[in-house]
Amino acid sequence: EAQVTQNPRYLITVTGKKLTVTCSQNMNHEYMSWYRQDPGLGLRQIYYSMNVEVTDKGDVPEGYKVSRKEKRNFPLILESPSPNQTSLYFCASSFSRGPYEQYFGPGTRLTVT
Amino acid sequence: DAKTTQPPSMDCAEGRAANLPCNHSTISGNEYVYWYRQIHSQGPQYIIHGLKNNETNEMASLIITEDRKSSTLILPHATLRDTAVYYCIVSPNFGNEKLTFGTGTRLTIIP
Who has greater pLDDT, B109 or B31?
B109
Q: Is A42's Cβ below 8 Å from some Cβ in B?
A: yes
Q: Which residue of B has its CA nearest to A87?
A: B41
B40-75 pLDDT, tens digit each: 989 999 999 999 989 999 999 999 999 999 999 999
Q: How far apart (Å, rounded) are the C-alpha atoms in residues A45 and B90?
A: 15
Distance of CA A45 to the CA centre of its chain: 9
Segments in chain A below pLDDT 50: none
Q: What is the pLDDT of residue A103?
A: 94
A39 touches chain B (CB under 8 A): no
Asked whether the beta carbons of residue B102 and residue A42 sit closer than 8 angstroms, the reply is: yes
Q: What is the mean pLDDT of chain A?
A: 94
| Short-list B29, B28, B21, B27, CA closest to B5 | B21
A45 CA to chain B: closest CA distance, Å?
7
How distant, in Å, are the alpha carbons of A18, A42, A59, A81, B87 from that of B20? 43, 19, 28, 39, 10
